Structure formats: structure tokens, C-alpha cells
Amino acid sequence: MITSWFTNMFQGFCMAMADSVPGVSGGSIAFLMGFYDQFIGSLNALSGKNHKKRKEALPFLAKLGAGWVIGMGLAVTILAVVFEKYIYVISSLFMGFILVAIIVMIKNNRDRIKINTASVLCFAGGCILVVLVTLLNHSGSAVMDLSNLTVFNGIYLFFAAMIAISAMVLPGISGSTLLLVFGLYMPVISAIKSLMHLDFSVLPALCIFGMGVLTGILLFVRLIKMALEKFPGQTMCGIIGLMVGSFYSIMMGPTTLKVPQEAMSFSTFHIIAFIVGALLVLLMEKGSQINDNKKEISAV
């Protein structure tokens, strides 16, 4: 029981750390650590009519959510201080992370992936989608005061959250990148940090953001689950395309900051951070294999 709590909370923690940084998705972490199907299935059950499945999904999501909250709280505390200062190090870390993640994902899903016209189109579509999302944001994060919302800003915040959460649960495309596009990344990060310091003036805005997140989950998770069940090969190729496209998103990430910096280049690339990111994926992959082996042994 304690092991289950620790494992699920750690999974949620890792998802939060990824979700908090533009360029990589918590969904990629879930896929890589081997619990994506359970994650999507549980979210789908939560919004479904089957009481038994909903009851089974709640404990898993509660443990995952607890880890996510802890991870996001830590990430916000760190990111609000060091994100802009160490953007190239963070970007290099996630480039290494994503490169090895793609390799691991292809290796683990060889039986699903079929090379045909539909799969190639889905792969290309995933790449193009991330590039287009990134190109939409040239001017950096617009400053929105979440402690003094207007009606228009509240509506805008709701729909931006709804769209961003669809990316956060989908491997490859980053919800944080979409928040950057909408000019809400740093305002939301700063608002969460303010609330942690008991500044309740941002609470209404964060409640609206939370309602947008819940609405997005209800609308998009069922579509994602259906695609994985009915079109597994094409969906996997689309996901891999999203992850390949995210390299461009990460390279352009510095240009989307409140104070824009130059896009990543060879001179600003950090090889050590890249290697650390790659090693983190390998460690998570190894941990996932050990966890699967334990489940197989306990089932015998």
C-alpha cells in the first residue's frame, strides 16, 4: 500500500515538473513511465457513468494528483526565480530528455507502429502542429494581472486553460508552451506562487483556470482514449511527431520569455544538461521495467 502511494505520487511529481516547463508534456512522462493508458483510462472513468470504474479510478488519481501538486509547488518556487536565468540549461536538459524518450517510445511500441501513408501523414501533422503553435508566439508572454480580472480576461483565462490541459495530457505537445502562446505562462506561475504565500487576491483567477482545466479534461480525454483504442498505430505516429516537433519549440523557447532572448544555438547549448536529461529518461525506463516485473511476479 505504501509502495503504491509512493510510486503514484512520484509519477505525479514527475508529470508536474514536466508540465511546468514549456517544451515537454506531462503526458510524455506518463507514456515513458508506462502508466499513460491507466492515466487516460482513469480520467475517462472519472467523467463516465460506470460507478465501479469511477470508484477504482479515484484512488489512483488522488495519489497521482497529490504528487502533481507537490511537484508543481516545487517547480513554481524554482521556476519563478531561475527559469529565465537558466533557460538554455533547462532547454538542453529537455532536449536530451525528449530525444531518448522518442527512442524508448518507438522501442516499446514496435507492435503498434506500422509504416504506411496514414502513419506518415499523422507523424508529419504532429510535427507541423507543434511548429505552428510555436510560431504563433513571437511577442513573449503578455502581462495579465490575475489579481484584478476583468470579465473578458476571465473568459479568456477559462478557454486558454481548457485548451492547454488537452496538451498536458497528450504526449508530445506542451501545455506550458500553449500558455506561453496565450501570454499566460508567467502570470499563472506567478499567481500560484502568490497563493502559496497566502495572497488570496489571485484565488478567483486560479479558480477560473481550474474550471477550464476540468472542462478540458471532460472534453478531450475521451477523444484521446478513443483514438488510442481505434487507431493505435496512427495515434502513436502522431504522438511521436508531436515530440519531434517539440525540438523546435524548445529551441525557440527563449524568444517567448517576458524579456525575449535569442533562440537556442550551438553556442548556448549545454551538453552536460543534455546528457543528464537523457540519463533521467533511461532511469525512469529502468524503474518502469522493475515495476512491471514486480507486478508480473505478484500476479503469479
Span of 29-38, 63-72, 172-181 with lowest mean pLDDT? 172-181
Max CA-CA distance within the chain?
Answer: 59
Domain positions in the chain = 2-299
Instruction: Please give the grid coordinates belonging to residue 281.
Output: 529518461
The residue-averaged pLDDT of 149-169 equals 81
Percentage of residues in the chain with pLDDT exceeding 90? 7
Span of 76-80, 89-93, 258-262 with lowest mean pLDDT? 76-80
Say yes or no to pLDDT of 122 above 80: yes
Span of 18-22, 219-223, 281-285 with lowest mean pLDDT? 18-22
Per-residue model confidence (pLDDT) at position 139 = 45
Say yes or no to pLDDT of 6 above 60: yes
Q: How confident is the model at residue 290 (pLDDT cuts 50, 70, 90)?
A: low
Per-residue model confidence (pLDDT) at position 142 = 47
Per-residue model confidence (pLDDT) at position 141 = 44
- pLDDT, one tens digit per residue, over 10-30 is 888 888 877 776 656 777 777
Per-residue model confidence (pLDDT) at position 144 = 67
Say yes or no to pLDDT of 233 above 80: yes
Q: How confident is the model at residue 283 (pLDDT cuts 50, 70, 90)?
A: confident
Cα 25 to Cα 16: distance, rounded to the nearest angstrom:
9
Residue 11's nearest CA partner among 37, 39, 30 is 30
Say yes or no to pLDDT of 270 above 90: yes
